[in-house]
Amino acid sequence: MKPITKEDIRSAFHTVGLAKGHVVMVHTSLSQIGYVCGGAQTVIEALIEAVGEEGTIMMPTQSWKNLDPEDGVHWEVEEEYRSIIRESWPAYDKRITPTNTMGAVAEMFRLWPGAMRSDHPARSVAAWGRYAEYLTSGHDLSDIFCDGSPIGKLYELNGDVLLIGVGYDKNTSLHLADVRADYPGKHYCVEHSAVMENGKRVWKEYETLYVDGEDFDEIGADFERTEAVHIAQLGNAELRLMNQRKLVDFAVDWINSHRR
């Protein structure tokens, strides 16, 4: 396949309907696209050119390795050494803490000039543009995916979701539906992350809704049968642009009907 240029990316964005002024949550797998001239930088530049300064781009910049080893996030380390991780894992610093498995585009985006990052030590997002400060501010420890979280604020702004080479299992906005839905297995859990408090590193405890997203692909497939999802091809990857509010509302009903 021929190399993918910025013009190719912008053309695909135009095909799915991404335009000036859009407020959009973007999930990207650069490797799924193919060979992109300029890599992650080119993708970000194309996104910014598509939405313009009046628009806003948000991406997940989660550092979920900053969770208790008991949660299974450090599976490569034997159980007998978990106490070393708890004592030694660096406190979250939104300026330098890297992302975990969020992809090359999100990793570069968190450092992009003008981008802002939220304060959650394990589930942060970064945003650029008109509503960047609003979306990233006040990301409370226990309010990871609730109405006051970045994805809850995106819902208030009637924003969109753009999937680039990834499936609905990566669609963070569906966690807002987890919060709003009412199903028998819904429950909360206690998590821990390393943070700075009063100039000292502490292993902070907080309660949050337990989520896993195992049925997100199924929700997405059913959503596409009933709602408008704009699809375009970009290299080897499919692009999907959808209204976040419609997706979340659909998912709440779906979860209420299907999840146990």
Residue pair 72/79 in contact (Cβ under 8 Å)? The answer is no
Q: Could you report the per-residue pLDDT of 5-17, keeping only the tens digit for each?
A: 999 999 999 999 9
Average pLDDT on 32-45 reads 98
Average pLDDT on 154-179 reads 97
Average pLDDT, the chain: 96
The predicted pLDDT at position 242 comes to 98
The predicted pLDDT at position 1 comes to 80
Residue pair 1/34 in contact (Cβ under 8 Å)? The answer is yes
The predicted pLDDT at position 160 comes to 98
Q: Where is average pLDDT lowest: 41-50, 63-72, 92-101?
A: 63-72
The proportion of the chain whose per-residue pLDDT surpasses 90, expressed as a percent, equals 94
Average pLDDT on 27-40 reads 98
Q: Could you report the per-residue pLDDT of 249-258, keeping only the tens digit for each?
A: 999 999 999 9
Q: How many angstroms separate the CA atoms of 19 and 48, rounded?
A: 10
Is pTM beyond 0.75 here?
yes
Q: Where is average pLDDT lowest: 97-101, 175-179, 208-212?
A: 208-212
What strands, in cross-sheet order, belong to the sheet with 230-234?
116-117, 125-129, 56-60, 23-28, 160-164, 237-243, 230-234
